[in-house]
A = this chain, B = another copy of it.
Amino acid sequence: MAKNKYQLVYDELLETIRGGKLEAGEVLPSENVLSDLYGASRETIRKALNLLAQNGHIQKIKGKGSVVLDTQRMSFPVSGLVSFKELSQSFEAAAVTKVHQFALVKADDAIASQLTCGPNTEIWKIVRSREINGEKIILDKDYLDKRIVPYLSKEICENSIYEYLEGELGIKIGYAEKEITVEECTNEDRAYLDLRDFQHVVAVKSYVYLDDTTLFQYTESRHRLDKFRFVDFARRGQV
């Protein structure tokens, strides 16, 4: 559970916002009031509020207060680091994962360059398709460094790999670099996806790092054009 005081404040405030107890446009209690309310220093309260601001839930206005933003407008953010399982829960749609390939392979040149590891490094290779409302829409190709993930199974891949890594293995994921481009369909895309007559797919390539800056995963997620949507919340300056 949230053992840090600022995370606790963050969670509770987010809940009151999400729960609709505060409408968009209303202001949160002032920092001093919250400070008394939670028995926390003002800086600790500010830490929680700044997190809410970063994630697009409030806007802090000098002299006024912390205004609640309309978070429904764009609905859920696909931004940041979220796994497919977390995503599909927002969908509320029937999502089915099918594992097409699951193997432990030696890194060839292509993989080695993506994971910046030596050739012959042992790598888990997983190919999965994601079916939503009866159509195979997304093709996920994952490569995981076995030195970091010693064990894996087909069953885990049918569920959520992230859930396993963070929950079971206690692996702490630090950050990721993502690139979104549009590429021509490959034969692999056509084999595993319901592509209709689209000539292109949206390719999302992710490099995932541990807390200690170790690169341990490369993922290529290929989406059918018409079903792709990416939402982002961005701030101009820094918080």
Total count of chain A residues near the partner, CB < 8 A? 47
Residues of B within 8 A of A235 (CB): 80-81, 174-175
Give Cα distance in the complex from A238 to B233, angstroms. 15
Contact of A120 with B by CB under 8 A: no
Q: Pick the residue among B73, B176, B180, B238 that contacts A54 (CB under 8 A).
A: B238
Contact of A231 with B by CB under 8 A: yes
Residues of B within 8 A of A226 (CB): 182
Give Cα distance in the complex from A200 to B209, angstroms. 33
Contact of A234 with B by CB under 8 A: yes
Residues of B within 8 A of A79 (CB): 232, 234
In contact, B174 and A236 (Cβ under 8 angstroms):
yes
Chain A 150-186 residues near chain B, CB threshold 8 A: 173-182
In contact, A181 and B238 (Cβ under 8 angstroms):
no
| Given A182-B225, A238-B54: A177 in contact with B67 (beta carbons within 8 A) | no
Give Cα distance in the complex from A200 to B183, angstroms. 12
Interface centre among A10, A177, A181 (most CB of B within 10 A): A177
Give Cα distance in the complex from A161 to B225, angstroms. 31
Q: Pick the residue among B51, B212, B229 that contacts A179 (CB under 8 A).
A: B229
Q: Annotate A195-239 by CB proximity to B: 1 below 8 A, 0 otherwise.
A: 000011010000101011100000000000110111111111010
In contact, B199 and A199 (Cβ under 8 angstroms):
yes
In contact, B225 and A173 (Cβ under 8 angstroms):
no
Distance to closest chain B CB from A47 (angstroms): 9
In contact, A178 and B211 (Cβ under 8 angstroms):
no
Give Cα distance in the complex from A230 to B231, angstroms. 12
Residues of chain A at the chain B interface (Cβ within 8 Å): 10, 25, 43, 51, 54-56, 59, 61, 64, 67, 69, 73-74, 79-81, 173-182, 199-200, 202, 207, 209, 211-213, 225-226, 228-236, 238
